Amino acid sequence: MSHNIQKKIAVINDFSGFGRCSITVSLPIISAMKIQCCPIPTAIFSNHTGFDSFYYNDYTDYMEKYIDEWKKLNLTFNGIYTGFLGSANQIEIVESFLNYFKNQNTTVVIDPVMGDYGKLYPTYTKELSQKMFHLVKYADILTPNLTEACILTNTPYKEDYTEDILYNMCETLSKHGPKKIVISGIHLGDDIGNYVFEHGREPIMLKVHKIGESRAGTGDVFASIISADAVNGNDFYSSVKKASSFITKCIDLTTKLNIPITDGVCFEEFLTQL
């Protein structure tokens, strides 16, 4: 009997038990959008690194044995979504996974989690960010924030790019593989912009009003919705608008409830709307 009757997305990301990010965000969101979510943990965290203290266990040494069992089951995936990768070895493991499991019916979403506000995250080196670029060629959809788009295109970072420069970044990246790109987290005064590019279409800047402070996990919410919508065959631009609107509602409620910044967004309240 086949294990491949339902739609499935393989999600390669870290697992944080508390703080609403990574796999613990993707599982409920992708499931709510009527797709089976199949996680591959890259690391285990008691709570994410934005807290003062956390327990951490690197999962690199176990990933290949974990994946080998999926090969024995002859699993196929309608989507593959990659997030945080903590080492060069993990990037190589993911590249091998993509080579094995990606086929003409698989939509690959690469979220190149590397940095924010113009800086690499502490776990990242220039060597590691260069290796991350190797995954770009596998992407059907790429979801960098502005910092990550700059890193991937060797563009000096600043917050106020013209749309022409953003278009050139997307054009450069699309030549290496992805035909759909959204550059998220662009600060536009009182708004946050997402620059949406799809090969063969007029690009657009989608804006939402900025509410409260930046919170952990919003990028994971965003990429999870984009991934599930892509597998469900929905229009890319509409999907970005949907994800942006969903996150805005979540942040608005979270702020009203006075939830600590570290605790992410209260997306659970709105899952039935996806």
What is the band of 209 on the pLDDT scale with cuts at 50, 70, 90?
confident
3-state secondary structure 179-227: CEEEEEEEEECCEEEEEEEECCCCCEEEEEECCCCCCCCHHHHHHHHHH
Stretch 227-250: mean pLDDT: 97
Question: How many residues in total does the chain contain?
Answer: 274
What is the band of 216 on the pLDDT scale with cuts at 50, 70, 90?
confident
- Higher per-residue pLDDT: 191 or 122: 191
pLDDT at 24 over 90: yes
Q: What CATH topology corresponds to 8-264?
A: UDP-N-acetylmuramoyl-L-alanine:D-glutamate ligase (3.40.1190)
What is the band of 225 on the pLDDT scale with cuts at 50, 70, 90?
very high
pLDDT at 122 over 80: no
Residue 96's pLDDT is what? Answer: 97
pLDDT at 147 over 80: yes
pLDDT at 1 over 90: no
